[in-house]
Amino acid sequence: MDFLQISFSPDAEMGTVMLKDYSEEYRGKLRTPEEAVQVVKSGDWVDYTSSLGMPVLLDRALAKRRDELLDVKIRGNLIVGPIEVAECDPERKHFIYHSWHCSSYERKLCDRELCYYIPTVFHNNAAYYEFFIRVNVVMVSVSPMDKHGYFNFSVNTGVAGPICRKADIVIVEVNENMPKIHGGYDECIHISDVDYIVEGEHEPFKNVMPIVPKEVDRKIAEHIIPYIVDGANLQLGIGSVPNAVGEIIADSNLKDLGMHTELCTDAYLDLYRQGKLTNQKKNIDRGKGVFGCAIGSRDLYEWLDDNHGIAAYPLEYVNSPNVIAQLDNMVSINSCVAVDLYGQVAAESAGSRQISGTGGQLDFLVGASASRGGKAFICMSSVYKGKDGEIHSRIRPQFDGDIITSPRSQVYFIVTEYGVVNLEGKSTWERARDLISIAHPDFREELTAEAKHRKIWRS
């Protein structure tokens, strides 16, 4: 494979062609997966970055070295799996896998004691790596190199740049299926900053289709729609409720909406197809739909590919509350597992069981609350069916052992199928009263008694 960069010197009278051929450098850094993973030593920290950035061929080759290595620690995030280094070592003597935001696959790894969660706030991602985290080797999937010597991080732009800068050794795995995505900064890495290059045939990405909303999700979404205005900027989190919001907006009269989101999903593609997503009213990044990472269908990746109306940025930018606050009418919509009567939100665990991660919920709560006309919604169904077959309320008297994702002091709107309440500036009794008003009717009397017991109720 030859890579030829052609440029013109402004000093020449007619313009002198200057040739920069990257072919020799490329060939000099090219390795098989088996050769490349030889750089990993016992005790190393290895980073797989995020989602489609997972290096499938390198992961497979590293797993084959299991019996040669001890205590190799790997980090990843939102990886759909399988992760061979985790699967091949159930005793975790050779490889120990970590995730700082669990996909459904990584959640199951946690259940099997094959994954440990790393608590993070997404807007601090770059700072974690710059100041606190050791990376001996990073292995990251990229799109094929362009004529200027750049590999594109694609839908992995949100996290890849800071990790590669920190790593002692950088290995890129060229994946021919990766879409090339335009960015604000840190969307690419130059061959001069790469130590080794791996090539090989990859299977097409899984066609991850959006979760189909249920009737309860649509009822929740219907409570949110009146708060969204023309020209609003949307952050839609993961889950059926954000998908339902996108579905209803697509059929509404809303127009000129903008995208500013840590995770781009098919909900935004649907809004674009319906002519709702123009990004023309944004205060910053006008005309650009901004995101950090993307997970979805092949149609989504095709839409993102070489699209000048899209800009991928690192999460330190996308999730910065100061950046989010600059966008007028910023609307953030996320989901949670449960809320207690004090307004605390558990969104990443069920008891001590890790389900997902803190992610950007807190970032967007703070940023959207500071936006002019901004609003932050946290959504949930009022009840769920437990493993015991019993129906339980998601609004609880008080958490006991659950991991708190968002503190009560920074929670804004809470939504169930029974309504929406705003907790900002509310006292403890007002919060209890309002939350009970949107609880399932079968649990309101019990919750009222619990509020009285905790002295947060006015008769």
pLDDT digits (tens, 9 = 90+) for 65-101: 999 999 999 999 999 989 999 999 999 999 999 999 9
Three-class secondary structure of residue 411 per DSSP: coil
Contact 319, 376 (CB under 8 A): no
Q: How far is CA 288 from CA 238, 294, 308, 314, in A?
A: 21, 15, 8, 15
- State if pTM tops 0.85: yes
Q: Which residue, chain included where needed, has tokens 């002019």?
A: 372
Closest by CA to 55, choosing from 167, 166, 169, 175, is 175
End-to-end CA distance of the chain: 78
Q: Which CATH class is domain 30-198?
A: alpha beta
Q: Which residue, chain included where needed, has tokens 């665990």?
A: 349
* DSSP state at residue 225: G
Closest by CA to 224, choosing from 259, 249, 253, is 249
Three-class secondary structure of residue 86 per DSSP: helix
* Active-site residue list: 262
Is the model's pLDDT at 154 over the cut of 60?
A: yes
Topology agreement, domain 30-198 and domain 215-453 = yes
**Confidence category of residue 12, pLDDT binned at 50, 70, 90:** very low
Contact 416, 380 (CB under 8 A): yes
Is the model's pLDDT at 47 over the cut of 50?
A: yes
* DSSP state at residue 167: -
How far is Cα 49 from Cα 336, in angstroms, rounded to an integer? 25
How far is Cα 123 from Cα 130, in angstroms, rounded to an integer? 13
pLDDT tens by residue, 216-264: 999 999 999 999 999 999 999 877 888 888 888 888 899 999 999 999 9
- What is the topology classification, in CATH, of domain 215-453? Glutaconate Coenzyme A-transferase (3.40.1080)
Sequential DSSP letters for 201-216: --PPPP--PPPPP-HH
- The 10 Å Cβ neighbour count of residue 127 is 13
Residue-level pLDDT at 6: 53
Q: Which of 141-155, 175-189, 197-211, 388-402 has the lowest mean pLDDT?
A: 197-211
pLDDT tens by residue, 429-442: 999 999 999 999 99
How far is Cα 46 from Cα 168, in angstroms, rounded to an integer? 10
Closest by CA to 413, choosing from 426, 422, 402, is 422
Contact 373, 228 (CB under 8 A): no
Closest by CA to 346, choosing from 414, 262, 432, is 414
Residue-level pLDDT at 102: 92
* Arithmetic mean of pLDDT over the chain: 93
Q: What percent of the chain has pLDDT over 90?
A: 85
How far is Cα 288 from Cα 84, in angstroms, rounded to an integer? 37
Q: How far is CA 151 from CA 30, 172, 176, 198, 293, in A?
A: 14, 8, 11, 12, 17
How far is Cα 219 from Cα 205, in angstroms, rounded to an integer? 33
255 — phi, psi (to 5°)?
-145, 165
Three-class secondary structure of residue 130 per DSSP: helix
Residue-level pLDDT at 211: 79
Question: Which sequence spans correspond to the domains of the chain?
Answer: 30-198, 215-453
331 — phi, psi (to 5°)?
-115, 115
387 — phi, psi (to 5°)?
-65, -20
Q: Which residue, chain included where needed, has tokens 């593609």?
A: 269
Q: Which of 8-12, 42-46, 72-76 has the lowest mean pLDDT?
A: 8-12
Residue-level pLDDT at 201: 94
